[in-house]
Amino acid sequence: MKKLFLETLGCAMNSRDSEHLVAELNKNEPYNLTNNLEDADLIIINTCSVREKPVAKLFSEIGVFKKRKKNGAKIGVCGCTASHLGDEIIKRAPVVDFVLGARNVSKINLVLEKRHSVEVDIDFDESEYDFGEYRNNPLKSMVNISIGCDKQCTYCIVPATRGEEISIPSHLIVNEITKAVNTGAKEIMLLGQNVNNYGRRFNSDEQCSFTELLQKISKIDNLERIRFASPHPLHMDDQFLEEFASNPKICKQIHVPLQSGSSKVLKEMKRGYTQENFLNRCKKIRELVPEVTISTDIIVGFPTESDEDFLESMKVLEEVRFDQLFSFKYSPRPHTEAIDFENKVTPELAGQRLTILQKRHTEILDEIMELQLGKEEFVYFDELKTGNRISGRSGGGRLVYVDGSEELLGQIKKVKITKISRASLDGELI
């Protein structure tokens, strides 16, 4: 059997695209995945372009592939960087055999046929395409509910790499989840750049909001847990939050991406909400679901961000006390408005702000984790570890390890937390 070396960078959407790539390849000819570059007949890198660093990394990695690949092995560049650089990739690195954009995954067998093929059409619509079946871990399945993004956040390249937002018809989503449940998934993760904007645009005359979609999905027998990423604070209406709170199948974990705590910067970013709106939504979530875990994304050093603006982000961090923080230094990206903004923040200052933000969040996190000791959680075990250990997630999404083996895989069990660390918890079955 042919061997595939597949490296996936970026977000959950790219991880799902990588599964689709494998499934599509297998429709034509079965491939075994390998971690060994030298063994591979096909090397694919599924790229991310959200910040500058991974792009520079791409060309150095292609250099490594070129040196180490076996004779005749093909190299493909897929994903978001492929979408926006297109044939430039082949001009800079002719060793690359094909370039396939983030919205052209279904064309993988086509580009394999002809050397130097480039398929990066961001208007291409895969929202109703029937991808083959392949999952890295059938116990927890990712399911796309929309493609693309219609927001124009001024820092973000994603709309230029994934094109306009189209919702996948709800019956296709329900079918896919039913299949996943029948092959062992008790938990699913709904994916989209703006999940709670679901229903904005269909190819048909279907009408279905995200709240309605959640209601439809929860009727699927034997599906026990629903997660989703990423929702947008702007679309967190009361109806959605009430569904989130009252639907027992929805895990009480929510990502509420802040980006900046300063209403002035949020306006420059075109996020569509103010600090006040954001805090109001988080307050409402905590009122409705006291045990909820809230995660967020924050960018520091966006052009025009003053010391006072940065302190507003710190203020929101203090008020919401996020359970998880993903924080980034602003990175100027092509095809975005902010690349031309004046009053840039120096990388040194942005670095200092990032350190302050992360240090304070670590202190908050230590306090939050301290409170987990002795708690009882329902954990869905989805991964075997070495040394007779097994891990899973609590409803709030925390990683929990216990002693145990295969027979626990795919089971939801009550666990008492006996040990804490910043990134995970240890527990005992009770």
Chain positions contacting ligand F3S, by CB under 6 A: 10-11, 13-14, 48-50, 79-80, 102, 158, 161-162
For position 281 contacting ligand SAH by CB under 6 A, the verdict is no
Burial-class residue 429 by CB neighbours within 10 Å (0-12, 13-18, 19+).
Answer: middle
142-181 residues near ligand SF4, rule: CB under 6 A: 149, 151, 153, 156, 158-159
Judged by CB, which is closer to ligand F3S: 79, or 301?
A: 79
Reading the block at residue 286, the tokens are: 């905590």
Shortest distance, CB of residue 400 to ligand SAH, whole angstroms? Answer: 26
82, interface contact from ligand F3S, ligand SF4, ligand SAH, none, CB < 5-8 Å by kind: none
What gap in Å lies between CA 312 and CA 183, rounded to an integer? 47
Q: For 31, phi and psi rounded to 5 degrees? A: -120, 145
Residue range at the interface with ligand SAH (CB under 6 A); choices 88-96, 118-126, 280-288, 329-337: 329-337
* Among 413, 420, 374, residue whose Cα is nearest residue 394: 413
Total residues in contact with ligand SF4, by rule CB under 6 A = 9
For position 161 contacting ligand SAH by CB under 6 A, the verdict is no
For position 331 contacting ligand SAH by CB under 6 A, the verdict is yes
H/E run at residue 162: helix 158-162
User: 366: how many CB neighbours lie within 10 A of its CB?
Assistant: 12
Cα dihedral across residues 216, 218, 220, 221: positive or negative: negative
Residue range at the interface with ligand SAH (CB under 6 A); choices 153-161, 242-250, 351-359, 396-404: 153-161
Member of 127, 193, 262, 391 binding ligand SF4 (CB under 6 A): 193
In the three-class reduction of DSSP (H, G, I as helix; E, B as strand; rest coil), residue 116 is classed as coil
Q: Omega of the bond prior to 209 within 30 degrees of 0, cis?
A: no
Shortest distance, CB of residue 254 to ligand F3S, whole angstroms? Answer: 19
Member of 170, 194, 211, 327 binding ligand SF4 (CB under 6 A): 194
**DSSP labels, 288-309:** H-TT-EEEEEEEE--TT--HHH
Residues 6 or more apart in contact with residue 260 via CB below 8 angstroms: 266, 269, 271, 298, 299, 302, 305, 309, 312, 313
328, interface contact from ligand SF4, ligand F3S, ligand SAH, none, CB < 5-8 Å by kind: ligand SAH
H/E run at residue 187: strand 187-191
For position 167 contacting ligand SAH by CB under 6 A, the verdict is no
H/E run at residue 379: strand 376-385
For position 80 contacting ligand SF4 by CB under 6 A, the verdict is no
Reading the block at residue 83, the tokens are: 């979408």
For position 392 contacting ligand SAH by CB under 6 A, the verdict is no
* Among 230, 226, 210, 228, residue whose Cα is nearest residue 218: 226
For position 315 contacting ligand SAH by CB under 6 A, the verdict is no
For position 193 contacting ligand SAH by CB under 6 A, the verdict is yes
Judged by CB, which is closer to ligand F3S: 105, or 158?
A: 158
Judged by CB, which is closer to ligand SAH: 155, or 380?
A: 155
The one-letter amino acid at 96: V
Q: Which residues bind ligand SF4 (CB under 6 A)?
A: 149, 151, 153, 156, 158-159, 193-194, 232
Q: Which residues bind ligand SAH (CB under 6 A)?
A: 50-51, 155-156, 158, 193, 230, 232, 257, 259, 297, 299, 328, 330-331, 333
